[in-house]
């Protein structure tokens, strides 16, 4: 038999899982996603989420409640008479009536090795902390924040130069295959659940604007992890004076380098910057309103001499 599934997700990260479940032959009776948001150059057009667009291409009904506070929205969910709900980066808190609104409950695809990095930004936080490993987990949701029992796990190595964007793309496909496997096991009665350990809980708070600025007084390894953990969005940045004007420069990639000096000092003509301990070489940068450039190309249009200071 196949499962009657309600899929709940919003960003591009969720799309491979939706497609994998549909390709596996399950009946996706409805897709829930966040409402269209203002988009376009002037913000006047309403843009459907990536999941919304993918579901329409698959011919799946789409619902976009702002929340589940209205009794009618909760009843509509139950009326689908689904076996299970699959949740991947939906972005809304689910009340208990939704968590228990299908035969088997809600199963979430989460991008960390729980209980480490519960919360909103597990991919970025893992890299920013210098973790060498993360993964995808399928867990059965409960009322807590990513506290439910775990069904399946797939570990993924974090390369020393890997950015959050690269890890995101790797995990979204790992997660799709893992959720497909989980639903097959659920369908055959072979899915087992293991409570999360009580030790090792770490929360992955949402990334805020005030933590995106690069602090060169930190160690080179911390600065490097900060840069790649925020790449490509929202992007780590510093300020540099260019032609008498201070500009914000986004850094997309970097590497550890040799060198010492006052933190924030340019040490050579390849954009090696001294840190509180060691140095980093900035390898891909972007001026405000410009395109991302390799460091040598950036320097051709924006010369930065050794001895200059960034902050």
User: Which residue ranges are tagged as binding site for (6S)-5,6,7,8-tetrahydrofolate?
Assistant: 112-115
Q: Judge whether 138 and 178 are in contact, CB under 8 Å.
A: yes
- Sequential DSSP letters for 235-285: -EEEEEEETTEEEEEEEEEEEEE----STTBB-STT-EEE-SBSEEEEEEE
- Binding residues, as ranges, are 112-115
DSSP state of 209: G
Which of helix, strand or coil describes residue 40?
coil
Tokens coding 74? 């909760």
Region of residue 301 (left: phi > 0; alpha: psi -120 to 50; beta: else) = alpha
DSSP state of 34: P
DSSP state of 163: -
Q: Judge whether 22 and 28 are in contact, CB under 8 Å.
A: yes
Tokens coding 27? 């009946």
Which of helix, strand or coil describes residue 95?
coil
Calpha distance 38→265 (Å, rounded): 41
End-to-end CA distance of the chain: 60
Region of residue 264 (left: phi > 0; alpha: psi -120 to 50; beta: else) = left
Calpha distance 158→172 (Å, rounded): 14
Calpha distance 33→89 (Å, rounded): 9
Residue 19: Cβ-neighbour burial (10 angstroms; 0-12, 13-18, 19+): middle
């Amino acid at each position: 038999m196949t499962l009657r599934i309600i899929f709940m997700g919003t960003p591009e990260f969720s799309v491979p899982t939706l497609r994998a479940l549909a390709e596996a032959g399950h009946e996706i009776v409805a897709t829930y996603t966040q409402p269209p948001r203002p988009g376009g150059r002037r913000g006047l057009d309403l843009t459907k989420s990536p999941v919304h667009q993918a579901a329409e291409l698959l011919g799946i009904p789409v619902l976009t409640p702002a929340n589940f506070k209205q009794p009618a929205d909760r009843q509509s969910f139950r009326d689908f008479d689904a076996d299970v709900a699959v949740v991947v980066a939906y972005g809304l808190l689910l009340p208990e009536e939704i968590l228990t609104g299908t035969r088997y409950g809600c199963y979430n695809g989460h991008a960390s090795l729980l209980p480490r990095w519960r919360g909103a930004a597990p991919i970025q936080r893992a890299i920013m902390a210098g973790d060498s490993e993360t993964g995808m987990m399928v867990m059965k949701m409960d009322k807590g924040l990513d506290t439910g029992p775990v069904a399946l796990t797939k570990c993924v190595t974090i390369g020393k130069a890997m950015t959050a964007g690269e890890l995101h793309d790797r995990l979204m496909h790992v997660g799709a295959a893992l959720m497909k496997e989980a639903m097959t096991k659920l369908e055959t009665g072979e899915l087992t659940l293991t409570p999360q350990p009580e030790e090792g809980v770490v929360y992955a708070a949402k990334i805020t604007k005030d933590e995106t600025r690069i602090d060169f007084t930190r160690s080179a390894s911390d600065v490097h992890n900060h840069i790649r953990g925020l790449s490509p969005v929202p992007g780590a940045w510093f300020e540099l004076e260019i032609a008498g004007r201070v500009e914000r420069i986004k850094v997309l990639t970097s590497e550890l380098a040799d060198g010492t000096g006052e933190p924030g000092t340019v040490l050579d003509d390849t954009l090696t910057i001294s840190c509180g301990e060691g140095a980093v070489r900035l390898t891909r940068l972007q001026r405000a309103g410009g395109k991302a450039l390799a460091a040598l190309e950036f320097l051709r249009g924006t010369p930065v001499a050794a001895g200059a200071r960034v902050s």
